[in-house]
Amino acid sequence: MRRLLALLVAVSLVAGCDSGGGGTPEPKPRPSPAITDQELGEHLDALQRIANDNGGTRAVGTHGYEASADYVAARLRDAGWTVSRQAVRFTYFRLDRASVAIGGRTLTRARQFQVLSYSGSGRAEGRLRASGDGCEAEDFDELEGGEIPLVDRSGCFFRQKAAAAERAGADALVVDEPVRSRRGVPSGTLAVPGIAIPVVLVSARALGEAGDGTPASVMVDAISRGGRAENVIAETPGGSGDRIVMAGGHLDSVAGGPGINDNGSGAATLIEAAEAIGPKPPGARVRLGFWTAEEVGLYGSRQYVRSLDEGERRRIRAYINLDMVGSPNAVPELYGDGDAGLGHVLRRAYGGRLGQIRAGQSSDHASFQAAGIPINGLYTGSDEPGRGGRPRDPCYHLSCDTVRNVNRRVLLRMARTTARALLTLSARHR
C-alpha cells in the first residue's frame, strides 16, 4: 500500500534506557510514509467483515480467527516483511447451554449474565449468600449447604474466587458484574480449565436488590477440549546487528463479539506501523507479534516466549504491547509498571501527555516481562471510568465492539506513536 505523505521521525536520546553513548545524539531514521485514518480504517473494516462472515466473532478456535490470521499475514507480506506462523496449543471452551434465575426471574444470557470461559458444568439451586469479594477462604465461612455464594468482581482474579468457592463446598458461584450498561455483560475467563463448578457473571442491574436469602438457580453445560491455533510473526528482512525490538498485540476476540477495539485496533496499528517502517529499519531489526488465544489465557504469547532460548531472549531489547488503543471514550495511557526508559520513548513519540495504568498480568506483555525482557505498552481503556464518569469502552467484551466503537482520531495518534517509538528503538539498538 503506497502513501503520498511522509512523516519525518526524529530520534532523540532517551535517558534511562540501555543505549550507551552518554549524551551523544543518535542518528535520525529516514522519513517514513505517513499513517492515515483511511488506511487504519481499511484494516478495521476487513476484520469486521471477517467477523460478520463467521457468526459475529473472531475468537480463537473459529474460522473468524483463522481468516484474521490470513489477512494479517497477507498485509505484512505486502509490506515487504518476512512472515511466519507459529502453532500454539490451547484449551478450547465450548458452551452448549446455560441458564440463570434470580428471585424467580429467568435471566437472558449475554444481556444479563455470562458464563466465564472454562467454567465447570452442573446445576445448582438454593439461596444466595453474600460472600464479600470471595478472594479468601474465610469469605465463605458462613456458607451453608444448598447456598450459592454471591461475590463482588473486585479484589482478585475470577479463578481465585472460583477455586475458593469450590474448596468451601459451593455447587456454583455467582459474580456480581458492576457494569450496569443495557448493552450486556462482558465476557470473562477463568484462564485455564480445572474449576468443576459453574461460574457466572450476573449484571448488577439484573441482580437488583438480590442478596442473602434470594432464591437462585444456575445451570451450565459446557466442555473444555484441546485446540490448535497460530501466532503470526513478522520481521524486517533488513536491519543491522543481532538485536531485535518488538511490538505485539493479540489478534483474537472474545467469543461474544467481533473485537474491533479489543483488539482489532492493536492489529491495525501493527500493520500500519510495519508499512510505515518498511523492510529496512534504521538500526536493529523490528519484529511484530500477533498473538493467538489471549482472551482465554495468554496462550500465544506464552508459547512464543517459551520457544525462545536464552540467547534469543537477550536479543529482544524491548517489547511494546498494544491492547485496546482506540477506545471511544479514550484516556491514552502507558504501562506505569513497565520499563521506565521505554515509557519515556513512548511519551516522546506521543508528543503530549500520557497517563499511566498498572497493567499487571492483564495482557501479552506479561509473558515477556516474566522472561526479563523490558516491556511497556499503550492503552486507551476498557470498562474503567473515563471522561464524564462514563466507561472508556462501553462495548468492552460485548457484541457492540464493532467498527463504530473505535475512536479513529485516537487510534491514528496511537498508531503514529507506535511507529515513531519503534523507529527510535531500532536506531538506538543498531
Cβ–Cβ contacts within 10 Å for residue 243, how many?
19
What is the rounded distance in angstroms from the CA atom of residue 136 to the CA atom of residue 123?
24
What is the rounded distance in angstroms from the CA atom of residue 144 to the CA atom of residue 316?
53
What is the rounded distance in angstroms from the CA atom of residue 2 to the CA atom of residue 73?
18
What is the rounded distance in angstroms from the CA atom of residue 196 to the CA atom of residue 15?
50
**Active site annotation includes 294:** yes
Catalytic residue among 26, 166, 272, 294: 294
Exposure letters 93-129 (e unless 16+ CB within 10 A, then b): bebeebbbebeeeebebbbbbbbbbbbbbeebebebb
Under a CB-based contact definition with an 8 Å cutoff, are residues 288 and 234 in contact? Answer: yes
Amino acid at position 241, single letter: G
Q: Tell whether the torsion through CA atoms of 273, 260, 397 and 123 is positive or negative.
A: negative
Strand-pair category, 316-322 with 244-250: parallel
Nearest CA among 126, 428, 64 for reference residue 258: 64
Under a CB-based contact definition with an 8 Å cutoff, are residues 421 and 320 in contact? Answer: yes
What is the rounded distance in angstroms from the CA atom of residue 341 to the CA atom of residue 335?
12
What does the longest C-alpha to C-alpha distance in the chain come to? 72
Under a CB-based contact definition with an 8 Å cutoff, are residues 270 and 322 in contact? Answer: yes
Amino acid at position 363, single letter: S
What is the rounded distance in angstroms from the CA atom of residue 84 to the CA atom of residue 73?
8
Question: Quick check: helix, strand or coil at residue 364?
Answer: coil
141-149, long-range: CB < 8 A, 24+ apart: 143/168, 143/169, 143/170, 145/169, 148/124, 148/172, 148/173, 148/174, 148/216, 148/218, 149/173, 149/174
Provide DSSP, 52-68: HTTTT--BTTSHHHHHH
Under a CB-based contact definition with an 8 Å cutoff, are residues 139 and 164 in contact? Answer: yes
Under a CB-based contact definition with an 8 Å cutoff, are residues 256 and 398 in contact? Answer: yes
Q: Which residues are catalytic?
A: 294
